[in-house]
Amino acid sequence: MLKEQQFFTMLKSRGLRLTRPRRLILEHLSDGGTHACAESIYEALKRGNSTLGRATVFRALKLFAQLGIADETQPTTVRRRFEVAVGKPHHDHMTCLGCGAVVEFSNCAIERLQETEAKRRGFRITGHCLEVRGYCRRCLKLGRGRGH
Amino acid sequence: MLKEQQFFTMLKSRGLRLTRPRRLILEHLSDGGTHACAESIYEALKRGNSTLGRATVFRALKLFAQLGIADETQPTTVRRRFEVAVGKPHHDHMTCLGCGAVVEFSNCAIERLQETEAKRRGFRITGHCLEVRGYCRRCLKLGRGRGH
DNA sequence: TTGAGTGCAAACGTTTTGCATTGTG
DNA sequence: CACAATGCAAAACGTTTGCACTCAA
């Protein structure tokens, strides 16, 4: 669990400040347990803190993600993308957070393991999406994605 | 590859019609190769077909997905969700298309295989998201999710 | 000829941005 | 006291919807 002192240090080293909203939002994200969205955090905190703005929550979450304190549960869908589902070999994606490049890959063993997990739960799979996030070779060479 | 006659039959059996925009959009999705979004399809087709409307593309893509002709490449994110990334056990999701239920699971072997694929490509993983879509035990019992 | 499908524009819900104000370090 | 961060309102963005018109069967 992240201590407030650690948080303060992380911010300070980048010339950033530990403010009341940031403290509250991080606290809520930690305690709330499961995957929270900006709106639910906003609503929860707004009750006890009537001046909080939505934009602040969005800005804080983005910051936390950049600092590696928080992660997005699902990959960010900017625009919905579709592909023909008939007779096409499946593939997954590695998305580079540095340059946006998308590396495609496929691995049958992963698919088989998914199938195993699904069977165990009586779940019938019709499709899946695996998105790996991180930094590509080129960005790592350029020094991006070092501190995580 | 889906033949036009097949497409026509699929539509007709549901009282739907094979229209010029639908034919063009499906064609583009097939030929275009990679994951297309509504906007890119719209722009591409707009050039040769000046009366096409954006809404038509969105409606067609939704229809194709319902018919099983097309699949969404990424899971649909309504609101971005975040979780604390420090000292929390990772888990993935199985989402039921019948009732919306989310089944959580985790499998280290899958994670290791991802790592292997990443290493092979010089990619450094900072996170990932795996969403399996299909039908849960309960919905299957109720007869949902039978047709392919 | 009928009603499914379209194009347009306006509405929607989530996220971002501009800017004057606040408050941390 | 400087300037990072905020709250607000307006803009931006992808998507959906209402409606009169069109066109496939």
Distance CA B29, CA A26 (A): 42
One domain, residues B25 and B97: no
Residue predicted with more confidence, B48 or B119: B119
Q: Are residues B3 and B67 in the same domain?
A: yes
Tell me: pLDDT of A65 over 80.
yes
B81 with B117, same domain: the answer is no
Specify whether B83 is located in the same domain as B134. Answer: no
Report residue B96's pLDDT band, with 50, 70 and 90 as the boundaries.
confident
Handedness of CA A73, A75, A79, A84 (dihedral sign): negative
Residue A88 has pLDDT above 80, yes or no: no
Partnered with residue B36 across adjacent β-strands are A82
What is the overall mean pLDDT for chain B? 88
**C-alpha span between B69 and A16 (Å, rounded):** 49
Q: Is B22 left (phi over 0), alpha (psi -120 to 50) or beta?
A: alpha
- Residues of the domain holding A35: 1-88
- Contact list in B for residue A65 (CB cut-off 8 A) is 82
Residues of A in contact with B118 (CB under 8 A): 94, 132, 134
A108 touches chain B (CB under 8 A): no
Q: Cβ–Cβ of A131/B64 closer than 8 Å?
A: no
Both A18 and A82 in a single domain?
Answer: yes
A76 and A111, same domain (yes or no) = no
In chain A, what percentage of residues exceed pLDDT 90? 55
Whole-number Å distance between alpha carbons of A17 and A8:
7
Residues B82 and B140 in one domain: no
Do both A34 and A7 map to the same domain? yes
pLDDT of residue A57: 98
Scan residues 72-101 of A and list those with Cβ closer than 8 Å to B.
72-77, 79-87, 93-94, 96-97
Tell whether the model's pLDDT for residue B148 goes beyond 50.
no
Residues in chain B closer than 8 A to A6 (CB atoms): none
Q: Specify whether A113 is located in the same domain as A53.
A: no
Q: Out of B88, B110, B137, pick the residue that ends a domain.
A: B88
Higher pLDDT among residues A23 and A75, named by residue: A23
Distance CA B100, CA A16 (A): 40
The total domain count for chain A is 2
Place of tokens 């699902």: A74
Q: What whole-number percentage of chain B has pLDDT above 70?
A: 93
On the question of pLDDT at B45 being above 90, the answer is: yes
Write down which residue in A45, A70, A88 finishes a domain.
A88
pTM of the model: 0.81
Q: Which residue has the higher pLDDT, B131 or B119?
A: B119
Q: Are residues B144 and B79 in the same domain?
A: no
CATH at B124: 3.30.1490.190
* pLDDT for the residue numbered B89: 73
Residues A64 and A110 occupy one common structural domain: no
Are residues A110 and B124 in contact, defined by beta-carbon separation less than 8 angstroms?
no
The answer to whether residue B5 neighbours chain A at the CB level (below 8 Å) is: no
Domain CATH code at residue A59: 1.10.10.10
Q: Are residues A124 and A55 part of one domain? A: no
Which residue, among A127, A75, A93, has the nearest Cα to B70 in the 3D structure? Answer: A127
Q: Of all nucleotides in the shown strands, which has a C1' nearest the CA of B18?
A: D24
Cα B136 to Cα B22: distance, rounded to the nearest angstrom: 32
Please give the residue that has the higher pLDDT: either A107 or A87.
A107
Of B62, B88, B114, at which residue does a domain stop? B88
Statement: residue A42 has pLDDT above 90: yes
Please state, in angstroms and rounded to a whole number, the distance separating the CA atoms of residues A135 and B88. Answer: 22
